[in-house]
Chains A and B, each alone.
Chain A
Amino acid sequence: MTAAIADVASGVSVLASRVTVDGRAHGELLAPAVSAVLDQAGAGPSDLAAVVAGVGPGPFTGLRVGLVTAVAMTQALGIPAYGVCSLDGLGRGTSGRVLVATDARRKEVYWAVYADGTRVEGPGVAKPADLSVSVDRAVGDGALRYADVLGLPVDEEPRYPSPAALAARAARRVRMKAPGEALTPLYLRRPDAVIPGERKPALR
């Protein structure tokens, strides 16, 4: 979970950030983190020019908390929301051909391929063994977790999307005052649900 205040007037400078790495979402802690970084940056909600949100892919529950927080704040403040593919927070700033992979649970990864920092394939969700991509190396916690299967050199850092990279990905839109966007989550998976078949007999 990441909350950060960045000044993007010229360049990208992160004024305050909170990054919590915890698989168990703890979604209720995002708003307090936003409040804390605003305080730390000496700013109030009305000072915000825009909200940039990672639209996934990522664990659904935490993803929804992030998006609904961004949607509600921008609605209340009358400012634009911009979406950024969460994997870009890892892929941006890399050089060469790089596989970005984060843990998707169920022995799968969320992945994308970057060429000199620009996403050229993905995002997708796959079993690490099924990935056939032509890259030099890999980054991300999913790549570290499945380094053996991937058979690629894996950078130790960064493991998680950086606030600066996410802000940078939307900085141009913020400066141009581009129209706000509908934040559409990249779930990449259908809900687990089965249509019931014949009802089970109550009589034996």
Chain B
Amino acid sequence: MKTEPLVLGIETSCDETGVGIVRGYTLLADALASSVDEHARYGGVVPEVASRAHLEAMAPTVDRALADAGVTLSDVDAIAVTAGPGLAGALLVGVAAAKAYALAAGKPLYGVNHLAAHVAVDTLEHGPLPEPAVALLVSGGHSSLLRVDDLTGGVVPLGATIDDAAGEAFDKVARVLGLPFPGGPPIDRAAREGSITIPFPRGLTGPRDLAEHRFDFSFSGLKTAVARWVEARERAGEPVPVNDVAASFQEAVCDVLTAKAVAACQEHGVQTLVVGGGVAANSRLRALAEERAAKAGITVRVPRPKLCTDNGAMVAALGSRLVSAGIAPGKLDLPADSAMPITMVTT
């Protein structure tokens, strides 16, 4: 009997040091060390702080993952690492580590695309991905719509943000409202206590925008609109209804994301929508995606929140798919590419 490939995945593209271990479609370990608390006082991720934390966390996180999975490095069939896109200095720590593990243990090495890994992680929860699928990936660094014809080598970009990422807008609006960083969870909580009362703008949804930027996003204008609305209240000496602002802002983001995602499925004749990235942990985004997709007869797959945010399991999951598909591994000189295009699933 042929056993499924055992793959160790390393993720260091932002502020999470993630090491995951996967056998086939089965998650065996998902160890994570985060430097998010160190960034909170700066109101955003500081690349040098993140890189320093990755170096410190790498070996202990690998040890923890191996122990959790009950395997050793010599049992592993391949090592996969996020090669991009992401913060250059942070990526390089993971890539250098993965190369050293691969070299020392004599294992094949796959440099993989972070966004494709966000799609692949869903297979750990919901099994093989029906292809083609549309993927909506939303995080602090990315907001993209992709058509996934083949997870191991055929990903077509349909659209992306032309300014801020959705998660970035959550962080900036949280700051305006005096809520902590990262902004996603506190805005989600505040919104549950509030009502959608303020008609904030939906970026790139006008008739002309829908022609030129069919599946693109823009959140910069929304963020500014929220800031202006809040400041106008403050200047008038009126209280700011934080919960209502949070709910109205969140609705504006989720409305555009889900409307365009469902439209992309319909226009491309696709039956499956995968939602991933840190913002996919947002309760309203999950609910609205379900609701709109159901109306359109589309199946939505959203991994549980812990698998939506950056982690090593997603990298291992994509590595497992690549090994199973017989894709050739990368070389020891493969680069970390902070702007790795999504058309490149592996280096």
Contact = CB atoms under 8 A, between A and B. Distances in A.
A191 B55 CA distance: 14
Interface in A3-43: 25, 27-32, 34-35
Contacts of B55: 64, 67-68, 71, 185
A15 to B, nearest CB: 18
Interface stretch (B103-111, B162-170, B321-329): B103-111
In the A-B complex, list the 4 residue pairs whose CB atoms are closest, starting with the nearest. A72-B100, A31-B99, A202-B227, A76-B104
Contacts of B332: 31-32, 35
Contacts of A45: 103-106
A191 B176 CA distance: 26
28 contacts: A27-B92, A28-B92, A31-B332, A32-B332, A32-B333, A35-B332, A60-B48, A60-B51, A60-B89, A61-B92, A64-B51, A64-B89, A64-B96, A65-B96, A67-B55, A68-B54, A71-B55, A71-B97, A72-B96, A73-B100, A73-B104, A75-B62, A76-B100, A193-B48, A195-B43, A201-B231, A202-B227, A203-B232
A193 B38 CA distance: 11
A72 B58 contact: yes
A77 interface: yes
Nearest to A199: B175
Best-buried of A32, A71, A194 by chain B (most CB within 10 Å) = A71
A192 B52 CA distance: 12
Contacts of A193: 42, 46, 48-49
A199 B176 contact: yes
Contacts, number: 123
Interface of B: 41-43, 46, 48-49, 51-52, 54-55, 58-59, 62-63, 73, 89, 92-93, 95-106, 175-176, 224, 227-228, 231-232, 235, 331-336
B96 A192 contact: no
Secondary structure at the A interface, as helix, strand, loop or mixed, is helix
Contacts of A69: 96-97, 99-100
Nearest to B230: A202
B231 A202 contact: yes
B221 to A, nearest CB: 11
A26 B333 CA distance: 10
A61 B93 CA distance: 8
Contacts of B62: 72, 75
B89 A61 contact: yes
A68 B336 contact: no
Contacts of A64: 51-52, 54-55, 89, 92-93, 96
Nearest to B102: A31
Contacts of B232: 203
Nearest to A191: B48
B176 to A, nearest CB: 7
Given A75-B63, A191-B49, A203-B232, A31 B103 contact: yes
Contact of A76 (B54, B101, B228): B101
Contacts of A76: 73, 100-101, 104-105
A72 B104 contact: yes
Nearest to B331: A32
Contacts of B176: 199
Contacts of B92: 25, 27-28, 61, 64-65
B97 A68 contact: yes
B37 to A, nearest CB: 14
A58 to B, nearest CB: 14
A28 B100 contact: no
A161 B97 CA distance: 23
A202 B228 contact: yes
Contact of B334 (A28, A195, A201): A28
Nearest to B95: A28
A35 B106 CA distance: 11
Nearest to B89: A61
B59 A65 contact: no
